[in-house]
Amino acid sequence: MNKKLLSALAVIVWFLAACQPVSPAGTPTPTVTPLPASPTAETDSPSPTAPAPDPAIPDFSRIVIVIFENKEFDKVIGNPQMPVFNRLAQEYTLLTGHYAVAHPSLPNYIALTGGDTFGIDSDCRDCFVNAPSLPDLIEQSGRTWKTYQEDMPSPCFLGNKGDYAQKHNPFVYFDPIRLDAARCERSVVPLAELDADLAAGTLPNYSFISPNLCHDSHDCGLDVSDQWLDGLLARLLPALDATGEPYLVVLTFDEGNKDGSCCGLPEPGGGRVATVLVSPQAKNGFQDDTPYSHYSLLKTISAAWGLAYLGHAADETTPLILAPWK
Please answer whether residues 151 and 210 qualify as being in contact, where contact means their C-beta atoms are separated by less than 8 angstroms.
Answer: no
Domain contains 48? no
265 lies in which domain range? 63-314
What is residue 51's predicted lDDT score, i.e. its pLDDT?
A: 72
Domain contains 76? yes
Residue 126 gets which letter from DSSP? S
**Tally of structural domains, the chain:** 1
Q: Three-state DSSP class for 304?
A: helix
259 burial class (0-12, 13-18, 19+ CB within 10 angstroms)? middle
Q: With pLDDT > 70 as the criterion, what percentage of the chain qualifies?
A: 85
pTM (two decimals): 0.85
Domain contains 323? no
Domain contains 26? no
Domain contains 34? no
Domain contains 319? no
Measured CA to CA, the distance from residue 229 to residue 252 in angstroms comes to 12
Indicate if the pLDDT at residue 250 is higher than 70: yes
Domain contains 324? no
Indicate if the pLDDT at residue 42 is higher than 90: no
Catalytic residues: 219
**Does residue 268 have a cis peptide bond before it, meaning omega lies within 30 degrees of 0?**
yes
Please answer whether residues 171 and 113 qualify as being in contact, where contact means their C-beta atoms are separated by less than 8 angstroms.
Answer: yes
Domain contains 37? no
pLDDT band of residue 49 (cuts 50, 70, 90) is low
| Other residues' Cβ atoms within 10 Å of the Cβ of residue 74 | 13
Q: Give the model confidence (pLDDT) of 177-211 as tens digits.
A: 999 999 999 999 999 999 999 999 999 999 999 99
Measured CA to CA, the distance from residue 107 to residue 100 in angstroms comes to 9
Query: What's the CATH number where 145 sits?
Result: 3.40.720.10
The residue count of the chain comes to 326
Q: What is the residue-wise DSSP string for 39-51?
A: PPHHHHSPPPPPP
